[in-house]
A = this chain, B = another copy of it.
Amino acid sequence: MVDDQRGISLSLLLTGNEILSGNTIDTNSVFLAKALAEAGLEICRKVVVGDDLEMIVKGLQALSQESDVVIVNGGLGSTVDDLTAQAAAEAAGLKLQLHPDAMRHLENRIGQPNWSGYPSYLGQIHKQAKVPVSALLLDNPVGLALGFSITIGRAICYFTPGVPRELEAMFTESILPDILRRFRPAEPIDSARYNITGIGESQIQNMILQRLPAEIWQDIQLGFKAGQSTVEVKLKPIRTGSNPHLREIETMMNDLFREYLIDIDSTLFQAVANRLQERALKLATAESCTGGLLAANIAEIPGVSAVFEAGLVTYSNESKSRLLGIPSAAIERHGAVSREAAVLMVQGVLNVTGADCAVGITGIAGPDGGTATKPVGTVYIGWGDRSTIDCRCLLIRRDRRQFQQLTTAAAADLLRRYLYGYATDQRYYFDELSRS
């Protein structure tokens, strides 16, 4: 496969035991994929290896045979398992040497007050000034490790540090301009992209296939990319060039998915925050089983203080009474996981915060706490304002973490639909009650 816009084959090689084990969120891949996409470039493949010299060398040799560009990330630090520079030299058949400019960069950095914690390991840090003979240095304006580029096989290979802000500065300032200089831009293509929330991929495909005439698929290719609470649907011309069905597709997609569409490249939580801003409303949240995850997802958005008043995580039953003023008799009568409790949580949090609208979530995240009538995965989500409060019951039978994530997404989507005046009784693909 070659990239469809510029016709170049671009690969990533990531190093590090923590990325291989998947314990860390791979934010560097997210950044690179996005920054490259904005320049019309796509990643063709990604290889991850641990901190093992032989594996890095082999990965480099394989990728440099089938790629035009290889971006290598990680392993440029000063510890014994930082092996990338050595691997680069071996893969290219070159020697490592101390680069005088890199030495100067390190000494300048270490001399600055902020780096005063470092002097005792000066010896190891000098390791970071060793690069393969003939390598071109890439400046690191924000950290110690310098990057470098060399040609291996048919590929130009860029070696970058694993610290996200160091990678980001180096990529933006040095690497991307260099890639764009080397490879001439091709014709732009008209891809139609849509961001859909609340429906699963297979149902989206089914709806589209049933609607568009069969001949269209000779010109158009359908693709999906699942995000955290959205699916990106892409309809792109199979042959590079313009999209003959663009208008038809647009009409169909808006028609089929109107209430499910959110801004492209936006998250569900951003869509909620944007709509609150448009309507000049302040939100409050009352969460039990999700433990603050809805509040945390909303608070991740920059500038959200204009629309987010406060959140209460009333985890114990006592805190539901103390903090939200829910009578303990009501909890005893209906149970803490009930329609009544969810509605009272919304009322309570509106009262104590003075916000304009609110969401209340109470459910059984598991693994324990389920009953015959309310099994693990049962959750009540309430939402509304001082005049009306609505509530839905969902059954989300997943592990604790997935339950919390999907419940948070459902609550945000119900809030979004309420804020737009859309129906709030639609099916969620992860809800087993709305299926039957």
Contact = CB atoms under 8 A, between A and B. Distances in A.
Interface of A: 1, 16-18, 20-30, 32-34, 42-52, 54-55, 58-59, 62, 66, 77-81, 113-114, 116-117, 120-121, 124, 164-165, 201-202, 205-206, 222-228, 282, 285, 287, 289-296, 298-300, 302-305, 308-316, 318-319, 322-323, 352-354, 366-368, 398-402, 404, 427, 432, 435-436
26 contacts: A20-B46, A21-B29, A22-B26, A22-B29, A22-B32, A23-B33, A23-B226, A23-B227, A46-B48, A48-B48, A62-B62, A78-B202, A81-B224, A116-B435, A117-B435, A120-B206, A124-B206, A290-B299, A291-B311, A292-B292, A292-B294, A292-B296, A295-B313, A295-B315, A305-B315, A309-B318
Contacts of A24: 226-228
A24 B367 CA distance: 24
Q: How many identical chains are in the complex?
A: 2
A348 to B, nearest CB: 12
Nearest to A288: B299
Contact of A292 (B22, B165, B311): B311
Contacts of A25: 25, 228
B202 A404 contact: no
Nearest to A298: B291
Given A26-B26, A299-B292, A354-B318, A81 B21 contact: no
Nearest to A54: B1
B17 A21 contact: no
A310 B315 contact: yes
Given A312-B323, A354-B318, A44 B55 contact: yes
B124 A225 contact: no
A322 B325 CA distance: 14
A367 B316 CA distance: 35
